[in-house]
């Protein structure tokens, strides 16, 4: 009598993913590959044969967080493989944590998988499952990050991204569209397009064309955006398509009509960083702040509901009070919808470290408080203007009934990206409402960051 074949238990992997959405996409790809190789995934440190820590190395504070996460994984499990941006500083990692099993850099998928195979060899082959599994997602089912390129060709004085992730490397446009189509078919209602420089997509491959659905499509931001706007969910609806990390090159003007037509979510994430021409020059960034104000007005004329988010650095070396006041005045005129501010922080290897006239920490703190006060006031006024309007809202979370049986929910308007912007809080929603639903919401109230409302009656 033949003895039935018994498959060995799968080796298990734990994952800690730090940093930006681009790193989260890297984590998804690594885990997808490992599952195809026969690994399972642990919910805690104790249940893992090995723990992967995907690190961030952009700022010294991020490096400290990464080292702390590595230390926690070592303390709880002991078998740790490090990857990600801080992996480029292997000596610093080993100095702090000599016990780590292996270290690889950013988006080095093959090296990570090889390290896992070495230190936790797979207990079964990759062809055990006859039905292919979907890619692993670390975000909720209803929204997904779509990474269109890696690296960056800029040489900003405060940034070391090119040394961490290399020069711009764009993906084939048909591969991007195929992934987007697959995500939408699997339940994604919102695509968040990300890269280091979305506006530069395709520059490195000379905007080569590929055949898609019987017609050529260029590897260019505007062409890609137009095609993404043609996607439909299984229910026949257009998904939200949100553009992040968009440098304000001239061709960005061409995507605004697509927003007005409803093909793209009326939202642009543009990293302006500053407004003072002198500071922008020190940062080695384009100093065209006056023209940007004109373009913002033009964009709003074409698409009145467009939301502009940006981030700014305060206390950059050489920034005077006059420069900072210029920035505040510019913000008053620009009336951006969402603003994040960061105190300048020296990063090892960044050219800005060698600049003269570093701003004292107490002045950085004072300027940070002032810029947040200005942008909060602008945000409060812009949100107050939405009270009484009915807006589409995507639902992220539905709560449990309270003592009166009322159910609340949390969602986002088209002006709000997940994790970084505000929220819309709904009262008294129906029990059947589920995350991923897009509903029309009557806005009843607002504060400086969030909206409050109820599902509109038909």
Q: Where does residue 380 fall: left (phi above 0), alpha (psi -120 to 50 degrees), or beta otherwise?
A: alpha
pTM over 0.85: no
Topology (CATH) of 12-119: Rossmann fold (3.40.50)
Return d(Cα 373, Cα 367) in angstroms, integer: 10
Q: Where does residue 329 fall: left (phi above 0), alpha (psi -120 to 50 degrees), or beta otherwise?
A: alpha
Return d(Cα 353, Cα 358) in angstroms, integer: 9
Return d(Cα 396, Cα 426) in angstroms, integer: 11
Q: Tokens 């939301």 belong to which residue? A: 307
Return d(Cα 308, Cα 310) in angstroms, integer: 7
What ranges do the domains of the chain cover?
A: 12-119, 143-384, 390-455
Return d(Cα 57, Cα 89) in angstroms, integer: 9
C-beta of residue 201 within 8 angstroms of C-beta of residue 195: yes
**Could you tell me which of 98, 22, 94, 101 has the C-alpha nearest to residue 56?**
22
Return d(Cα 136, Cα 26) in angstroms, integer: 11
Nearby residues of 255 by Cβ (< 8 Å), 6 or more positions away: 221, 222, 225, 243, 264, 268
What is the pLDDT at residue 27?
85
Q: Per-residue pLDDT for the chain (458 aa), expressed as one digit of tens each?
A: 454 544 456 889 999 988 888 788 888 888 888 888 888 888 888 889 999 999 988 777 888 899 999 999 999 998 999 998 888 888 899 999 999 999 998 778 788 888 988 898 886 554 444 444 556 667 788 999 999 998 888 777 777 676 677 789 999 999 999 999 999 999 999 999 999 899 999 999 999 999 999 999 999 999 999 999 999 999 999 999 999 999 998 999 999 999 999 999 999 999 999 999 999 999 888 656 658 999 999 999 999 999 999 999 999 999 999 999 999 999 999 999 999 999 998 877 777 888 889 999 999 999 999 999 999 999 999 999 999 999 999 999 999 988 888 999 999 999 999 989 999 999 999 999 999 999 999 999 999 999 999 999 87
C-beta of residue 435 within 8 angstroms of C-beta of residue 395: yes
Q: At what angle do helices 109-119 and 21-36 cross, to 10 degrees?
A: 50
| Domain at 390-455, CATH class | mainly beta
What φ, ψ does residue 56 adopt, rounded to 5°? -115, 140
CA 56, 62, 64, 66 dihedral sign is: negative
Return d(Cα 113, Cα 109) in angstroms, integer: 6
What is the pLDDT at residue 124?
56
Nearby residues of 83 by Cβ (< 8 Å), 6 or more positions away: 26, 30, 52, 53, 54, 55, 103, 104, 105, 106, 108, 111, 112
DSSP symbols for 85-115: GGGGGHHHHHHH-TT-SEE--TT-HHHHHHH
β-partners of residue 191 are 144, 241
**Could you tell me which of 242, 273, 158, 164 has the C-alpha nearest to residue 421?**
242
The dotted CATH code for 143-384 is 3.80.30.20
Pairing state between β 390-398 and 409-413: antiparallel
Q: Tokens 């589920």 belong to which residue? A: 434
**Could you tell me which of 88, 66, 11 has the C-alpha nearest to residue 42?**
11
What is the pLDDT at residue 97?
94
What is the pLDDT at residue 134?
58
Helix (H) or strand (E) holding 425: strand 424-426
């Amino acid at each position: 009598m033949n003895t039935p074949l018994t498959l060995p238990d799968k080796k298990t992997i734990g994952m800690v993913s730090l940093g930006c959405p681009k790193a989260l996409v890297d984590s998804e790809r690594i885990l997808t590959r490992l599952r195809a190789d026969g690994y399972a995934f642990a919910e805690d440190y104790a249940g893992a044969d090995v723990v992967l820590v995907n690190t961030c190395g952009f700022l010294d504070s991020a490096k400290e967080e990464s080292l702390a996460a590595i230390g926690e994984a070592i303390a709880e499990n002991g078998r740790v493989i490090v990857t990600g941006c801080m992996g480029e500083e292997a000596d610093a990692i080993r100095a702090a944590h000599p016990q780590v099993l292996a270290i690889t850099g950013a988006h080095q998928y093959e090296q990570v998988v090889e390290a896992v195979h070495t230190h936790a060899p797979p207990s079964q082959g990759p062809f055990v499952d006859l039905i292919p599994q979907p890619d692993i997602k670390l975000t909720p089912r209803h929204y997904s990050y779509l990474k269109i390129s890696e690296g960056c060709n800029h040489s900003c004085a405060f940034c070391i991204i090119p040394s961490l992730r290399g020069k711009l490397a764009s993906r084939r446009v048909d591969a991007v569209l195929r992934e987007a189509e697959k995500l939408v078919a699997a339940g994604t209602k919102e695509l968040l397009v990300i890269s280091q420089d979305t506006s530069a997509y395709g520059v490195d491959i000379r905007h080569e064309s590929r055949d898609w659905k019987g017609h050529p499509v260029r590897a260019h931001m505007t062409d890609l955006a137009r095609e993404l706007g043609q996607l439909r969910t299984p229910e026949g609806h257009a998904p939200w398509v949100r553009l992040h990390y968009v440098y304000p090159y001239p061709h960005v003007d061409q995507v605004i009509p697509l927003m007005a037509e409803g093909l793209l979510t009326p939202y642009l994430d543009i990293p302006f960083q500053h407004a003072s021409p002198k500071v922008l020059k020190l940062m080695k960034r384009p100093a065209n702040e006056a023209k940007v104000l004109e373009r913002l007005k033009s964009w709003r004329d074409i698409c009145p509901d467009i939301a502009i988010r940006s981030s700014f650095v305060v206390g950059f070396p050489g920034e005077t009070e006059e420069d900072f006041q210029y920035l505040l005045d510019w913000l008053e005129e620009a009336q951006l919808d969402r603003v994040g501010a960061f105190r300048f922080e020296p990063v090892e290897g960044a050219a800005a470290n060698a600049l003269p006239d570093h701003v004292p920490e107490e002045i950085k703190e004072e300027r940070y408080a002032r810029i947040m006060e200005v942008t909060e006031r602008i945000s409060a006024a812009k949100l107050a203007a939405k009270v009484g309007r009915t807006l589409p809202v995507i639902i992220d979370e539905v709560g449990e009934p309270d003592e009166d049986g009322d159910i609340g929910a949390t969602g986002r308007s088209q002006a709000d990206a997940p994790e970084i912007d505000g929220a819309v809080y709904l009262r008294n929603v129906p029990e059947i409402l589920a995350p991923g639903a897009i509903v029309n919401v009557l806005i009843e109230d607002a504060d400086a960051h969030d909206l409050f409302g109820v599902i509109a009656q038909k």
